[in-house]
Structure 1
Amino acid sequence: MPTSQRRRSKDRKQAIALVAAELFCARGYHNVGIEDIAHEVGITGPAIYRHFPTKQAVLAAAVQELVTRFGECVRSGAHLDVPHDRLHTALRALVRYTLDRRTVARLYQWEGRYLRAEQQAVFAASFDGAVHTLRELLLDLRPELARHDAALLTVAALSVIASPSTHRASLSRTKAERAILDCVTAVIAADLPAPRQKRSRHRRPDQFTLLPRRERLLAEAIRLFHERGYHQVSISDIGQAAGINASSVYTHFASKAELLAAAYYRATSRLEHTVAAELADASTPAQALGRLIDAYVEITFDQADLAAVYLSESENLAPADLRRLRAAQRRHVETWVGLVAEVSPGEEPSETRFRTHAALNVVTDLARSSDPSVTEERTAALLGQMLGLPDRSRPPFFAG
């Protein structure tokens, strides 16, 4: 094959993978077909198969691209002599790449679970190796850190960098890059309290047996949706996990979609009531923000599976439910934005909103960690430093 034809073939393959990644993130892997991808690319369905044998192969190519570029960004400053420059170059490259690929940056985190086990293992090894490299860059700059603290701050920094893919807030490219880098700066420079014993949240085999049937079904559905993904779970699976006949499930929920919506409404309702109670007696904006941080961290850690489902399965909600839940989410974010603006005035609301989404994403990601050094207290302290409690001064080693 002539070089020009090979080049066109490679370009077409990359274009297909990118378009597919955007669709997978927007609609969910199981809600996208080969014909959908072909339509967006502007080719026929059969033409896809000249490049990829299956839809899963398209997903694998898209994830491979993300993981490869992630590693390249992390290594982009390896040739530099100064630890500050190596780390700063890597982080800036990651921020820029994530903003370039904002619509697909969460592909590996959520849709990667639909790859074959051996593919997941290969990608995980590559990704984990790059994360390890980034942690070592941080330790070069801050040798006083314990390794588990450096690991925690590295994960939190990556969560900040990925956060634009979790929301739709609008900000100019220059300001978005600056806002995310400022948050990363606060995370990398953070001082963490000494870790206390992490509160155990391991699920007991009999944990849900005393719940009423409806609550038991909801609890098991959330767990299974998180572990397998919405489309990989059936009503029969949920009923079996709850110890209830599949036919009896319909006494409580008309469909699996209704179960999913109930999980979202449960999360929203609990959050609204808790936030209202915590803010009612606050006497200053700083006190209110501190209480909001503590309450949100506690809820998210307590129900990490529910928080993950809330982020990863929204495309499977009915349109009416999705509209109502997004409106509730916007109201919650605006509560944060208003308090952060009062505590740290002088910033545009759109920039404050970007920082707020970054902080919320850090909580969701850390809540799923099994590392005993990742605790509610330490996560809340990290958020306080990100959002201006007590001080949001910019560390000098990231100046410029």
Structure 2
Amino acid sequence: MTPQARSATRSRPRGRRDQLALIAAELFARQSYHNVSVNDIAAAAGISGPAIYRHFPSKQALLDHILRTGLEQLLRIVDERLGPGAPNASADPADRLRGVYEELAAHVIRHREVGALWRRERRHLHGPQRAAMARIMARAADLIVDELRRMRPELPTADAELLAWAGASVLGSISDHRVRLPQAALERLLTAIAMNVLTAEPRTPTADALGRSPYPEPTILDSRREQLLAAAAQQFRDRGYHAVTMEDIGAAAGITGPSIYSHFSGKTELLQAIADRIGDRLRQTSAQAYAAGQPPRRTLDLLVGYYVDTVVDYHDFVAAYFSEGRNLPQRAAAELRRFQRAYTQHWTDLVITVMPQLPEKQARIQVHAAFAVVNDIAQTRRFRSRPGHAAELRTLMLAVLTVTDLSAATHP
């Protein structure tokens, strides 16, 4: 070993691997996995690009390490409180669950980037890597489901699983926004929302009475243009915008060769069309809910029903709309962000009208959590196939929006 190499070895900070993972996590969360290179990570760490390969063989290995480590920390929290060796095993299950969610909330607030990466970037990992993480998540979910059924023994296991995953989406929702509360207040609020979800009745009959949007269901995909749009939305959702080519989209739609380009000039136009489709749908259904001229609470019920219809009917489009919009040209991406902020504020104002005791920040956080629960559950195949799926999503969305625990709130 040369003197320079020995010097570099001695001067390398302890915990360099963890430091690199933290830097990479922040960059991936802020700019997306595909928009960050190994050299970008190295530059942020103040080292050369090749130096990263002493710790991780690839950028993908970095992402795998970040997500696996983050999920293992979450499982450790759940296992220590609810696992076979947990203390107070005979305590009230509601108190035990509340304690778990309080600790999980504190953890995800400190590590927001892991939630963002789990929801948006895990698709870039290989199948075995994703399967390993799914097993970690399933173990944590099983412990929560078992405790939830201790609290609610009448609840079927399948319903308990739905509620447990919805509670996880509440916690993960903080990666979708930058609404700030003091940490203790945010922990209490997230815990209150999650516990409200765990006490929901998934099969509430009144949820079916919310009605469907008056706008028609998705066009039957019999045109080449619609087939390409549907294929692009699914490919973008499953693999990410950057990993998909026009040829991939054409093959998925059963259209090959130059004829693809007679319908869309490229991926950007396809992504713009997907964003326009969902944006127009959200504008139309929002206007329709208000045009009905109902009292505020009934208007909220209608808006919830219409939003759920949109997500269920267009689940691939909605997933691409929220996860890939940053890949639009700069002006279009900025316009999409402005609309999303305005749409969220529109919901927030209505929630405050229905529950005027809620501080504005708390209402906004609840709105983001409600969107996250519906969007996440609708993307999970085993929940999407449940009978009454849309009605369950309406119930869960209302359970999130109608939390009125003001002990969690703080005025802006």
Under a length normalisation based on structure 1, what TM-score does the superposition of the two structures give?
Answer: 0.88
CA distance in 2, matches of 1:8, 1:141: 51
Q: Which amino acid aligns with 1:177?
A: E
For residue 263 of structure 1, report the CA deviation from its aligned partner.
0.9
- Residue 213 of structure 2 is matched in structure 1 by none
Structure 2 counterparts to residues 95-114 of structure 1, below 5 A: 95-114=105-124
CA distance in 2, matches of 1:326, 1:115: 27
For residue 6 of structure 1, report the CA deviation from its aligned partner.
10
Query: Is there any run of 5+ residues in structure 2 with no aligned partner, and where?
Result: 1-8, 209-218
Of 49, 55, 69, the residue aligned with 1:51 is 55
For residue 37 of structure 1, report the CA deviation from its aligned partner.
0.7
Bigger Cα displacement from structure 2, 309-318 vs 6-15 = 6-15
Structure 2 counterparts to residues 195-210 of structure 1, below 5 A: 210=222
| SS of residue in 2 equivalent to 1:76 | helix
| SS of residue in 1 equivalent to 2:312 | helix
| SS of residue in 2 equivalent to 1:250 | helix
For residue 385 of structure 1, report the CA deviation from its aligned partner.
2.8
Contact 1:76–1:90 (CA<8 Å) still a contact in 2?
no
Change (3 A) 1:374 1:178: farther
Matched, 1:79 2:93: no
Contact 1:74–1:133 (CA<8 Å) still a contact in 2?
yes
- Residue 396 of structure 2 is matched in structure 1 by 382
CA distance in 1, matches of 2:68, 2:398: 35
Deviation sequence 1:62-103 (CA, Å, 0-9, x none): 111111111012123232231233212211111111110113
Q: Which amino acid aligns with 2:173?
A: S
CA distance in 2, matches of 1:386, 1:52: 40
Bigger Cα displacement from structure 2, 299-308 vs 314-323 = 314-323
Of 295, 298, 301, the residue aligned with 1:287 is 298
Under a length normalisation based on structure 2, what TM-score does the superposition of the two structures give?
Answer: 0.86
Contact 1:208–1:216 (CA<8 Å) still a contact in 2?
no
For residue 228 of structure 1, report the CA deviation from its aligned partner.
2.2
For residue 163 of structure 1, report the CA deviation from its aligned partner.
0.2
For residue 10 of structure 1, report the CA deviation from its aligned partner.
5.7
Of 45, 70, 82, the residue aligned with 1:66 is 70
Q: Which amino acid aligns with 1:152?
A: L
Q: Aligned residue pairs: how many?
A: 380
| SS of residue in 1 equivalent to 2:112 | coil
Deviation sequence 1:30-52 (CA, Å, 0-9, x none): 22110111112222212111111
- Residue 187 of structure 2 is matched in structure 1 by 177
Contact 1:189–1:395 (CA<8 Å) still a contact in 2?
no
Structure 2 counterparts to residues 13-162 of structure 1, below 5 A: 13-77=17-81, 78-81=86-89, 82=91, 83-162=93-172
For residue 317 of structure 1, report the CA deviation from its aligned partner.
2.1
Bigger Cα displacement from structure 2, 230-239 vs 250-259 = 250-259
Change (3 A) 1:373 1:176: farther
Contact 1:157–1:184 (CA<8 Å) still a contact in 2?
yes
- Residue 366 of structure 2 is matched in structure 1 by 355
| SS of residue in 1 equivalent to 2:121 | helix
CA distance in 2, matches of 1:311, 1:59: 21
- Among the aligned pairs, what percent are the same residue? 36
Q: Which amino acid aligns with 1:350?
A: K
CA distance in 2, matches of 1:319, 1:23: 19
Structure 2 counterparts to residues 249-398 of structure 1, below 5 A: 249-369=260-380, 370-371=382-383, 372=386, 375-388=389-402, 392=403
Q: Which amino acid aligns with 2:400?
A: M
Change (3 A) 1:136 1:10: farther
Q: Which amino acid aligns with 2:332?
A: D
CA distance in 1, matches of 2:145, 2:10: 38
- Residue 229 of structure 1 is matched in structure 2 by 240
- Residue 196 of structure 2 is matched in structure 1 by 186
- Residue 200 of structure 1 is matched in structure 2 by none
CA RMSD across the alignment: 2.5
Change (3 A) 1:326 1:152: same
Q: Which amino acid aligns with 1:318?
A: P
Contact 1:340–1:387 (CA<8 Å) still a contact in 2?
yes
Deviation sequence 1:312-363 (CA, Å, 0-9, x none): 2233222111110011111211111011101111121111100110011111
CA distance in 2, matches of 1:157, 1:374: 19
Contact 2:369–2:400 (CA<8 Å) still a contact in 1?
no
For residue 373 of structure 1, report the CA deviation from its aligned partner.
5.1
Change (3 A) 1:109 1:385: closer
| SS of residue in 2 equivalent to 1:356 | helix
- Residue 203 of structure 1 is matched in structure 2 by none
CA distance in 2, matches of 1:359, 1:216: 30
CA distance in 2, matches of 1:91, 1:126: 17
CA distance in 1, matches of 2:404, 2:263: 52
For residue 209 of structure 1, report the CA deviation from its aligned partner.
5.4
| SS of residue in 2 equivalent to 1:53 | coil
Q: Which amino acid aligns with 1:90?
A: V
For residue 224 of structure 1, report the CA deviation from its aligned partner.
1.4
